[in-house]
Structure 1
């Protein structure tokens, strides 16, 4: 079980492959705010809804100075298929060994239908221009989450 991040923490640095296999690092976004969100699996209903919501609100977020990065354990090829099928315009990164997901506290015990198992905890971390955690939200809902973030950030 990984420890959850708190506001003021330094966001863990990362470099992961995107849907095209190109490396993307958190440091590439230095000087901009970044919404890093973790989701269990591409091409599933909840994750699709969340990714489409971020894509639909990308202009609003970008105009307010935010970049959006979605991270899942999927391989780049599956992310590319997800991006194409849903016309996604957000950056999708692959974390198959869950190293970054764990560093952000987004991997741990989950309960579903009375069963406990380990998995990706749907989470969103807002990183400021200096690379510090501004907000860390865990166990978020796929539906309505993006609207809530926009409201909470005062955008």
Structure 2
């Protein structure tokens, strides 16, 4: 998994509108990238809505925000439209970005082992260096976790 001190990986992906977004667009800005397992699921919705509800505070602190999951552009569009998120959601259905960040890992739920996205938030400074990794994201207070750091 990407760790503190690592550089922002080079990547490009399609947002909810099918527009290409590249990591290089964010150099010179503070950036939060949050990875979530699946659009429109209860816990992911709570996390994304919490970040949306506190977006102005995150912006005031100088942050740009990107959400990434393994969903298709169509699923991201539906999720984005349903909740009117003020930030882009990136579709990474081939796991290209997810694997670069190291968040595609073995998970265990109710005794069942499978591969999936580990809910993780990465915070990068203006130079594209990772300053914080939040591995134990609390969906209901995701924005507070970021701002308290």
Deviations 1:18-70 (A, max 9, x none): 00000001111111100001001111111111111111111111111100100
Whether 2:45 is the aligned partner of 1:48: answer yes
Following superposition, the deviation at residue 72 of structure 1 comes to 0.5
Residue 106 of structure 1: aligned partner: 103
Whether 2:54 is the aligned partner of 1:92: answer no
Contact 2:120-2:134 within 8 A present in 1 as well:
yes
Following TM superposition, the consecutive aligned residue runs of length 4 or more in structure 1 with deviations greater than 3 angstroms are none
Contact 2:68-2:91 within 8 A present in 1 as well:
yes
Whether 2:11 is the aligned partner of 1:8: answer no
- Structure 2 residue runs without a partner (length 5+): none
Contact 2:58-2:143 within 8 A present in 1 as well:
no
Whether 2:125 is the aligned partner of 1:125: answer no
Residue 63 of structure 1: aligned partner: 60
SS in 2 for 1:135: strand
Deviations 1:83-129 (A, max 9, x none): 11112112100100111111111110111111111100000110111
Residue 145 of structure 2: aligned partner: 148
User: For residues 28 and 148 of structure 1, what CA distance do their matches in structure 2 show?
Assistant: 25
User: For residues 148 and 139 of structure 1, what CA distance do their matches in structure 2 show?
Assistant: 10
Whether 2:72 is the aligned partner of 1:75: answer yes
- Structure 1 residue runs without a partner (length 5+): none
Residue 20 of structure 2: aligned partner: 23
C-alpha RMSD over aligned residues: 1.1
The TM-score, its normalising length taken from structure 1, stands at: 0.92
SS in 1 for 2:24: helix
